[in-house]
Structure 1
């Protein structure tokens, strides 16, 4: 069973804000004691669990902040798209909005090409020969014009 100082130590290590020396001084032990506790299986398990809980909470808080900031960023982009004094800034903002909604033009073309390849269109030998004949006629016409 972990004692109160071990629990305090685990919480401080999990938070990651202080060095082991600072933690030891704060809770009234030596840093060597912390290293000894870290060899204790129960201590390590509790430290992993607390670290996971704190990390999960920090990630959730970070995501919430990013969502809030993301809303502000989107509003700013819309303002630029409509109110910027420079036409290039307006254009870039509108392109960003368009691509965020519809994707980039190259991406759409690649998707279309990928869809066409999936149809397994097979070309017969006769179709290939007909295409070559068309090119031969064009080439012969060009040669006659050059003479």
Structure 2
């Protein structure tokens, strides 16, 4: 059926804004992350049990060709900020059968708190900023 091609290639959208001939709201543009990036963050957070600083260290080596340490740090901090303020929305557990070690619907296996204090980000984000400053200083000394 030809109409299925439209669904397969459609831009993911929450459809909160009207679609016009020259504009389609995009989930990825609204979030500032691609779905591939979000999936990687989810695996690092859930499967590998990494927090913000651990994710930054891992992604710094994995994504070194995709951005500067500061750009990667900004993504990590933005992800964990939004994760912290929206975590409580993931606590409604409907019955399900899980056969994977990671799924975006991690209701059953994520036993971490679902309400994070505002200070949650301060230590980790400070460590990330210190590491970025050290890397930028080292890079400037090479030039």
Which band: TM-score by shorter chain? under 0.3
Looking at both structures, which has the greater relative contact order when contacts are Cα pairs under 8 Å and sequence separation is at least 6? 2
Please report the TM-score for the alignment, with normalisation by the length of structure 1.
0.26
Greater share of helix: 1
Larger gyration radius, structure 1 or structure 2: 1
